[in-house]
């Protein structure tokens, strides 16, 4: 498939383009700056098609998307980039996927573009990466045969967090209200008090705080649950808040850092609890196989759906996660015996 990658000079896009090439697809690299984009593409060692486009020039976006099946938006802040690119995808009849961790961007995408996407027969899928999509799938996997739950907790532990320049720009730009899902509705998040969470090894017990990620927006859209909460351990927060923390440093031939993560999901229904954890490395790198697996599964089905969807609405969570596990991208563990969070 010809698949466009917007923000092709960025850190996450490097992994996305490499993953597309490894799966036999044809990435179309779209950037705003020709010299910067061309320099970034040299790492792939093959000649790639490059197109230049600007968000404030719809005609350039239309030309950039011409002849593609889907576009992956890797350029934050997504509150600025998502809408213009989705509008171009609608005009061109191209499926849209992004990898946002921004709640407001995902929420607005669902609210504004579901009906237009259905009318045009295309898919619009926000947050199909580490943040958002992975947690949504793990929660569905944990629910299993349950049709509803009382509470879903998603706790993330990172060994460290070396933020990219794009992550820092997004943090500065993302001033929207932080939302949690309580008593069946989205509501402003209350100030978080420190808690502790017992993760699988090697993280074990960590201090955590409640933070607003896109898992909440995605799960609230399609899962029957009363309360949803997101947590992050406090150590990587110190990294990302320190302006002297460097960008990620590659330690292998794929350009991955030595960052490790575990995404630990607890689902409660009455007196029963189910728990599944996904462990892996480098949150930027793992985003690539997640979003491309999503495109392959969602866009190549005989009865393709249309509209704006959370990733968990489009794919079989168990099959999807097992495919990533077989590829060595993550490891899944289950443990129903631990008490996850204490207050």
pLDDT in tens, 317-336: 999 999 999 999 999 998 75
Give me the phi and psi of 202, to 5 degrees please. -90, 5
How far, in Å, are 39, 119, 210, 338 from residue 268 at the CA level?
A: 49, 37, 18, 13
CA distance 46 to 123: 30
What six digits make up the tokens of 15? 């992994």
Q: Closest by alpha carbon to 195, among 343, 41, 4?
A: 343
CA distance 57 to 326: 42
Q: DSSP character for 22?
A: H
Give the pLDDT band (50/70/90) at residue 303. low
Q: Where are the beta strands (DSSP E) in the chain?
A: 2-6, 26-31, 49-52, 70-73, 95-98, 123-125, 149-158, 179-182, 185-188, 195-198, 205-210, 225-233, 260-269, 272-281, 307-308, 330-334, 341-342
Tell me the sheet residues that pair with 263.
156, 278
**pLDDT at residue 343 in the model:** 23
pLDDT in tens, 205-262: 999 999 999 999 999 999 999 999 999 999 999 999 999 999 999 999 999 999 999 9
> Mean pLDDT score of the chain, rounded to an integer?
94
Q: Closest by alpha carbon to 300, among 290, 288, 292, 308?
A: 292
Q: Closest by alpha carbon to 89, among 117, 108, 114?
A: 117
Q: Does the global pTM surpass 0.85?
A: yes
Could you give the domains of the chain? 2-130+288-314 (3.40.50.720), 133-282+329-342 (3.30.360)
Average pLDDT of the residues in 45-62: 97
Tokens 């930027």 map to which residue?
284
Q: Closest by alpha carbon to 210, among 241, 188, 189, 240?
A: 189
């Amino acid at each position: 498939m010809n698949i466009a990658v917007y923000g092709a000079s960025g850190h996450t896009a490097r992994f996305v383009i490499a993953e597309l090439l490894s799966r036999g697809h044809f990435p179309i690299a779209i950037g705003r700056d020709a010299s910067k984009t061309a320099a970034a593409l040299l790492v792939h060692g093959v000649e790639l098609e490059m197109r230049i486009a600007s968000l404030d020039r719809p005609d350039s976006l239309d030309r950039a998307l011409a002849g593609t099946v889907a576009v992956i938006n890797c350029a934050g802040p997504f509150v600025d980039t998502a809408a213009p690119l989705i509008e171009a995808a609608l005009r061109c009849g191209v499926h849209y996927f992004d990898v946002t961790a921004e709640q407001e961007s995902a929420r607005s995408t669902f609210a504004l573009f579901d009906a237009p996407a259905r009318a045009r027969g295309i898919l619009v899928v926000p947050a199909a990466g580490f943040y958002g999509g992975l947690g949504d799938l793990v929660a569905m996997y944990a629910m299993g045969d349950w049709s509803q739950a009382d509470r879903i907790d998603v706790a993330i532990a990172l060994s460290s967090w070396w933020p990219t320049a794009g992550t820092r720009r997004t943090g500065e730009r993302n001033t929207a209200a932080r939302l949690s899902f309580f008593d069946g509705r989205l509501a402003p998040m209350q100030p978080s008090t420190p808690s502790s969470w017992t993760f699988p090894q090697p993280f074990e017990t960590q201090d955590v705080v409640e933070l607003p990620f896109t898992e909440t927006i995605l799960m609230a859209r399609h899962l029957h649950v009363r309360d949803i909460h997101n947590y992050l351990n406090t150590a990587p927060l110190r990294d990302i808040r320190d302006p002297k923390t460097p960008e990620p440093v590659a330690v292998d031939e794929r350009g991955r850092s030595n960052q490790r993560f575990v995404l630990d999901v607890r689902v409660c229904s009455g007196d029963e609890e189910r728990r599944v954890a996904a462990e892996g490395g480098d949150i930027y790198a793992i985003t690539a196989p997640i979003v491309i697996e999503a495109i392959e599964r969602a866009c190549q089905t005989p009865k393709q759906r249309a509209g704006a969807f959370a990733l968990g609405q489009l794919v079989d969570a168990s099959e999807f996660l097992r495919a990533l596990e077989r590829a060595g991208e993550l490891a899944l563990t289950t443990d129903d015996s631990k008490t996850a969070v204490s207050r």
